[in-house]
Amino acid sequence: MLPSKRLVLSYVFDWVVIIGIAAVGAGWEYITPYHRPFSPVDLSISYPFEHNETIPTWLLVLVSLAIPAALIFMVCLVFVPGPTASRGTPKSLIWRRKMWELNTGWMGLALSCATAFMVTQGMKLLFGKPRPDFLSRCQPDLSRLSEFAVNSVVGSTFNKDWVLATSSICTNTDDDILQDGFKSFPSGHSSFSWAGLLYLTLFLASKFAVAIPFLPPRPFSTNPAHTSAITPSNLRSHGLLPTHNKHNRESNTRSNFVEEYVVPIRYQAAAPPVWCLVLILVPVGSAIYIGSTRYTDFRHKGFDIIFGSLIGITTSWFSFRWYHLPVTRGAGWSWGPRSYTRAWGIGVGVGSYVGTEGWSHKHEGAMHNDNSNGTDEVELVGMAGNERDIEARRMDVVHAL
């Protein structure tokens, strides 16, 4: 069943909002930042102005946005829906899953970069911190120092130039270079690179299950088989586990079906191949390198880079979790779409953007869930909750064996 136009338009509007966030950040580039007073003898802002940056803005956008977007496209095109999809799955459903994973992958990337860009640009305007190369940009006229001083230490026997002055003392006629000199905090290159590259890391880690082995919470059990290190294997035959006697085996009910299939804890997770760490280390290492160039190019101080990185780390994690399940428990999938009646929002007390009406108002009697083989599964609402939980647990065990 195809999603309703109402639902599709709600996600189109999501894209409009994301683009709007980026547009706000771009618009702030044309606003004059706050000019923090400075001292013409402050060595921390006396570094030379480097005209040729190691990582110019166009290269930053290429590495942190365009390349991650291309890699997300390739992963969704080639690896989704994955080996769990049966051969008989209709191609229309497979392509629907590919397009959905691509859409959420790009939306998360765009949201991360746009949010980091807007926040960073806004903070630059508010703080107006001089860059380490500010005096080279300013070219102050020291003969007029007393005229533009903001404190009363003029004439000090220690150093007559040891005063704070306003930007009016600057003689540089290139206004763009001068205004950019007051945008040291936080580092935009650092925030944008971490926003795009760490998001790519989380996306790849999710799709290829690159994570520290994880055990989900489980009820307490005194059965020694659950924690045994000598149980021969976690590969058990379907329904042929040995029991104490035939009577007990025949008396098992559906509610204790899971207890038959004992999988020792040590067999419930395993470390990924070490080469998979490349998927994590390359994007993260690239973000670290980009941040380091802002220090060696004398564009930012260390704290500016650290704080900018924290902005990008925060937006990347937030944007990934906004559209994707947790890396350790999500099996590489993004969240499914919102429901038809909840596509544009919900009221107090509703609690979730997924309801029983599904994607279209034409099927209000069913709830749609994406199962692990890439097909759409329709689950009747009238099915008892306990029976659904038991059946889900049973299928989880069967899939694990």
d(CA 171, CA 82): 62
Residues whose CB falls within 8 Å of the CB of residue 41, separated by 6 or more in sequence, listed in order: 159, 161, 162
Give the pLDDT of residue 361: 67
Q: Between residues 214 and 181, which one has the greater pLDDT?
A: 181
Q: Residue 24 above 80 pLDDT?
A: yes
d(CA 183, CA 308): 12
Give the pLDDT of residue 350: 86
Give the pLDDT of residue 224: 62
267 neighbors 397 (Cβ within 8 angstroms): no
Q: Where residue 153 falls among pLDDT bands split at 50, 70, 90?
A: low
Give the pLDDT of residue 229: 57
Average pLDDT for 204-224: 80
Cis link prior to 81 (omega < 30° from 0)?
A: yes
Nearest Cα to Cα of residue 48 among 120, 131, 104: 131
d(CA 308, CA 198): 13
- Which amino acid, one-letter code, is at 94? I
From residue 159, alpha-carbon distances to 30, 42, 75, 88, 141 in Å are 37, 12, 62, 83, 16
Q: Residue 266 above 50 pLDDT?
A: yes
Find the DSSP H helices in 28-84: 57-61, 67-78
Pairing of strands 376-380, 366-370: antiparallel
Give the pLDDT of residue 255: 44
Average pLDDT for 380-385: 33
d(CA 103, CA 96): 10
Residues whose CB falls within 8 Å of the CB of residue 370, separated by 6 or more in sequence, listed in order: 97, 333, 336, 376, 377
Q: Residue 250 above 60 pLDDT?
A: no
Q: Where residue 364 falls among pLDDT bands split at 50, 70, 90?
A: very low
Average pLDDT for 229-240: 50
Residue 184 φ then ψ, to 5°: -80, -35
The total of other beta-carbon atoms located within 10 Å of residue 316's CB is: 29
- Which amino acid, one-letter code, is at 14? D
Give the pLDDT of residue 313: 98
Q: Where residue 304 falls among pLDDT bands split at 50, 70, 90?
A: very high
Whole-number average pLDDT of the chain: 82
Q: Residue 377 above 50 pLDDT?
A: no
- Highest mean pLDDT among 186-200, 201-215, 249-263, 269-283 belongs to 186-200
d(CA 396, CA 362): 31
Give the pLDDT of residue 72: 97
pTM of the predicted model, to two decimals?
0.81
Give the pLDDT of residue 367: 40
**For the chain, how far is it from start to end, CA to CA, in angstroms?**
32
Q: Residue 289 above 80 pLDDT?
A: yes
d(CA 363, CA 327): 32
47 CB-side CA count, 13 A: 18
Give the pLDDT of residue 177: 95
d(CA 64, CA 112): 11
d(CA 3, CA 363): 11
Give the pLDDT of residue 245: 53
